[in-house]
Amino acid sequence: MKKMITAALLLTFLVTALASCMDQPGTVTDNTAAAGTKDTDAETVTVPETDEITDETTKTGADTTATETDADTAAEETEADTTAKETEADTTTKETEAETTAKETPADTSAEGQTDPSAALGSFDEFDSAFMEFIEKTEDGNYMISPLSFKYALGMAMAGADGETLSQFLSGFGINDLSVFENYIKAFNSFEEGFTEKVKRDLDSYDEAIRKGADKNYLEYRPGSLRTANSVWKREDLADFAKEYKLHLEMYNAEHYTFTPADIVDRANEWANKKTEGMIPEILSNDYDTTNLAVVLMNALYYKNCWKNEFNKCGEMPFTTADGAVLKKNFITSTETYKYYKDDKTELVVIGMNNNVDMVIVTGDTGDLQNKINKAKNRKVRVYIPELEIETSLENKELCNFLLSLGITDAFSPYAANFGRMTETGNDFYIDDIIQKAKIKLDETGVEAAAVTAIMMKNESADPENPIEFKADKPFRFYITTSHSDWTDTTGITLFEGRYCK
């Protein structure tokens, strides 16, 4: 995508850094310990100049997977009985080695030089870029979306799809086999597990230091949270899901529920609110039409994390919007050694967060973004970014229309959709609606973000008291043909055909 996107904020989850995540020292530090040395000789770069900032600074593509391992920090542990003293030091000399490792690691899914079909999914992949580009055609101002939450929900739908419906999904993602998509989901599951285990180790270190008598006023503990949750809802009068479909859902750790059209709105909203710590209190409006609703597939993604190096408030600064207006915004600032890249079209900085997550801030062209990130070098950078809070609701068929634009059409047709692998006896499920709501808060301490995606599937036979009406009250043609039987594999042999028109 060669479109100019000014200051897009992208939460980059480093799946390829999972191994280092498991071994990286915790974030519990004793502020009385000697600080790690830093690259004080590096060139100081101020990013960005405030008269170059536009209101698209707050545009964010959250939860995309990056391939470059975190090469900026190494830890020096000092032994102490009363504290878990750990400091992080930037090590610029390992940059080249780390970039090489990031390119060689099997988890790398960057598009460059890849022949593996899994390259279609991964770091700033084509689906994510197309998703962002499509949404920018419908959202005029600030927005925040979650490609990852969207993919989790779609994955549960794809697990039940078959035939041409499944083929269209795979083609839309640029892959040729469902296992490629499932490996992508498993990769993030592994990252989430590593993130959670590291947070637990940090908390254990903090508790141990307190138990041994350390003064908590001199201890620094910055917790983090990364959670995905999935749920599958079936109308209570429908047959149970197929065993094979349930097996596919195990990788999603999906919770299973039954519902009635009368209670699904309240229960889905309650689930969304709980799984996002109150950031998304409502995914369905109170007057949402539940007629013929058969299946609901939901994902919730919650993330809260601190900067490796906290920012400081710096008060109001001028902010130049896309239309040239100058507004006053509250900014935060930090001067540290960060990964930095600049060319004639693009300027970016990679800001480290705890637990192997980065936030990439880009001004200018975002084309070939992963390659540019790979080329970023450690520099002493003075960063200014505005505090922000963005809330986006995509509830007007935007996600349906996006998938249609990728050629995924059968899934939305009551007559062409094939989700036959969901149930043992077949079904007439089709996707009627897809909704996503997302929210982000960013300040001097870090980022809190959440998203919920809900796929609403209907079946036309759900309401026998209100059947579909077909009237042959105008000229029509008729055909009498053979149908499926045990006698032969050949069907559709025409015995008679004709027209009735007067």
Higher model confidence: residue 8 or residue 182? 182
175: left (phi over 0), alpha (psi -120 to 50) or beta: beta
Residue 236 has pLDDT above 60, yes or no: yes
CATH 3.30.497.10 fits 8-462, yes or no: yes
pLDDT band for position 26 (cuts 50, 70, 90) = very low
Q: Are strands 219-220 and 29-30 parallel, antiparallel or unpaired?
A: antiparallel
DSSP string covering 180-229: HHHHHHHHHHHHHHHHHHHHHHHHHHHHHHHHTT--GGGEE----EEEEE
- The Cα–Cα gap between 27 and 307 comes to 11
For the beta carbon of residue 183, count every other beta carbon within 10 angstroms.
Answer: 16
* Radius of gyration of the CA atoms of the chain, in A: 26
Q: What is the pLDDT of residue 135?
A: 92
Residue 2 has pLDDT above 60, yes or no: no
* Angle formed at CA 284 by CA 391 and CA 273, multiple of 5 degrees: 65
Q: What is the pLDDT of residue 485?
A: 66
* Angle formed at CA 127 by CA 124 and CA 132, multiple of 5 degrees: 75
Name the token pair of 400: 């349906």
Helix axes 163-173, 178-211, angle to 10 degrees: 60
Query: pLDDT tens across 306-343, in order?
Result: 999 889 999 999 887 878 888 899 999 999 999 999 99
Name the token pair of 258: 């039954």
Q: What is the pLDDT of residue 488?
A: 67
- What pTM value is reported for the model? 0.75
For the beta carbon of residue 26, count every other beta carbon within 10 angstroms.
Answer: 22
Q: What is the pLDDT of residue 399?
A: 97
Residue 177 has pLDDT above 60, yes or no: yes
Question: Residue 309 carries which side chain, given as an amino acid letter?
Answer: N
Q: What is the pLDDT of residue 203?
A: 79
Question: Residue 189 carries which side chain, given as an amino acid letter?
Answer: N
Residue 114 has pLDDT above 80, yes or no: no
pLDDT band for position 121 (cuts 50, 70, 90) = low
The domain segmentation of the chain, as residue ranges, is: 8-462
Q: What is the pLDDT of residue 183?
A: 92
pLDDT band for position 269 (cuts 50, 70, 90) = very high
Nearest Cα to Cα of residue 341 among 322, 360, 354? 360
pLDDT band for position 139 (cuts 50, 70, 90) = confident
CA dist 188 to 149, 164, 228, 391, Å? 11, 28, 10, 24
Contact between 234 and 294 (Cβ < 8 Å): yes
Nearest Cα to Cα of residue 235 among 285, 154, 296? 296
Q: What is the pLDDT of residue 326?
A: 87
- The Cα–Cα gap between 352 and 383 comes to 12
Give me the percent of the chain exceeding a pLDDT of 90. 49
- The Cα–Cα gap between 390 and 307 comes to 19
CA dist 165 to 158, 250, 487, 500, Å? 9, 22, 28, 34
Dihedral sign computed on CA atoms, order 203, 439, 185, 112: negative
- Looking up tokens 């090590």, which residue turns up? 91
From the number of C-beta atoms within 10 Å of its C-beta (0-12, 13-18, 19+), residue 357 rates as: buried
Q: Which of 69-78, 121-130, 172-181, 481-490 has the highest mean pLDDT?
A: 172-181
Higher model confidence: residue 463 or residue 343? 343
Contact between 331 and 316 (Cβ < 8 Å): yes
- The Cα–Cα gap between 201 and 191 comes to 15
241: left (phi over 0), alpha (psi -120 to 50) or beta: beta
When the pLDDT of each residue in the chain is averaged and rounded to a whole number, the result is: 77
Nearest Cα to Cα of residue 278 among 260, 262, 258, 302? 302
- The Cα–Cα gap between 61 and 8 comes to 7
Q: What is the pLDDT of residue 221?
A: 65
pLDDT band for position 218 (cuts 50, 70, 90) = low
Residue 145 has pLDDT above 70, yes or no: yes
- What are the start-end ranges of the E strands in 311-387? 312-320, 326-342, 346-353, 357-364, 377-386
Provide mean pLDDT across the span 3-24.
Answer: 38
- The Cα–Cα gap between 337 and 92 comes to 9
Q: Please list the residues that pair with 315 across neighbouring strands.
A: 331
For the beta carbon of residue 350, count every other beta carbon within 10 angstroms.
Answer: 23
Which of 21-25, 310-314, 374-378 is predicted with the least confidence, judged by mean pLDDT? 21-25
Q: What is the pLDDT of residue 150?
A: 96
- The Cα–Cα gap between 87 and 66 comes to 25
Q: Please list the residues that pair with 429 across neighbouring strands.
A: 459
Q: What is the pLDDT of residue 356?
A: 87
Contact between 450 and 273 (Cβ < 8 Å): no
* Helix locations, 281-407, DSSP H: 369-375, 398-405
Residue 3 has pLDDT above 90, yes or no: no
Residue 79 has pLDDT above 70, yes or no: no
Which of 295-304, 370-379, 433-442 is predicted with the least confidence, judged by mean pLDDT? 370-379
Q: Residue 490 — φ and ψ, nearest 5°?
A: -85, 130
Q: What is the pLDDT of residue 220?
A: 66
Alpha carbons within 13 A on the beta-carbon side of 283: 32
- The Cα–Cα gap between 362 and 346 comes to 7
